[in-house]
Amino acid sequence: MKLFQSKQGARAGYTMVEIMVSLTVASIFMSSLFMAQDTGQKVASRATHEDETQARLSRAVTRVASELRSIIDTSIWEDLSGLSNETNILTFQGVESIDEGVMVPGVVTRLEYVLEAGELLDDVDNDGDGLIDEGSVVLTRDPTGPNEISVTLCRNVREYYQGESLDFDDENDNGLVDEAGFHIQRIGDQLIVRLTVEDVDLRGDVVIKSAEALIRIRN
Ligand SMILES: [Ca+2]
Ligand SMILES: [Ca+2]
Ligand SMILES: [Ca+2]
Ligand SMILES: [Ca+2]
């Protein structure tokens, strides 16, 4: 009887080898679980980052388009009569209100692309934010006037529009050569505003998003 109890106890227990194998299997399982969780978090984080970049891009394009829709000063056609009919600085006058069917001009406004503070146009990330030669879209009311005031509509604007680089070639096949990350193009009585923004996500990858809007100018 004693012998029987002793054999049964030995079978019910685990040998050191069995314990080591179990611990190894558990360790592999846990690390796989953590890796899957980590990958899932990174994917979710990137998706969130892309959503945020897309949202600020949409806000900026909507705002610029809204400003351009108010244009009444057709002298901008002269400003846009350059070699490629596109510009990244435009001064214009919009409608402030309509009084008994008559349009009342608003203040002169300027939209432009400017390099961000701390950046130089030198193909180097001078301010260390992971983006090279990035700029901003800035709106200025009453430029050079007594009430001049500027507001930044969008930061981290790419130097060149998505798919473009400085090579005297239309790489993205949109009819414009080496166009800027923010530019306004005139086609007949319409303006097209295009914008490319970029951001650095948590993995250090650069997220790039672009959008455009078509604006018909009032006569
Ligand atoms: Ca930078
Ligand atoms: Ca730079
Ligand atoms: Ca192009
Ligand atoms: Ca190019």
- Distance, CA 135 to ligand 2 centroid (Å)? 10
Cβ-contact 64, 195 below 8 angstroms = yes
pLDDT of res. 6:
47
Sign of CA pseudo-dihedral 76, 79, 84, 87: negative
Q: How far is the CA of 178 from the centre of ligand 4 (A)?
A: 4
Which pLDDT does position 4 carry in this prediction?
Answer: 43
CA–centroid distance, residue 165 to ligand 2 (Å): 15
Q: Which of 64-68, 89-93, 119-123, 130-134 has the lowest mean pLDDT?
A: 89-93
* pLDDT score of 168: 95
Ligand nearest to the CA of residue 155, numbered in listed order: 1
C-alpha span between 96 and 183 (Å, rounded): 24
Q: Which residues are placed with Cβ below 5 angstroms of ligand 3, an ion?
A: 170, 172, 174, 176
Please list the residues that pair with 168 across neighbouring strands.
none
Q: What is the mean pLDDT of residues 58-84?
A: 75
Residue 78 pLDDT exceeds 70: no
Give this prediction's pTM.
0.77
pLDDT at 179 over 60: yes
Q: How far apart are CA 209 and CA 193, in angstroms?
A: 14
Residues with CB under 5 A from ligand 1 (ion): 125, 127, 129, 131
The number of CA neighbours under 13 Å toward the Cβ of 135 is 22
- Classified as helix, coil or strand, 8 is helix
What is the CA(160)–ligand 3 centre distance, in A? 9
- Gap between the Cα atoms of 154 and 134, Å rounded: 11
Mean pLDDT of the chain: 84
Place of tokens 């001078």: 126
Contact (CB, 8 A) for 131 and 155:
no
Give the Å distance between the CA of 165 and the centre of ligand 1: 17
Own/partner pairs for 16-20, CB < 8 Å, 24+ apart? none
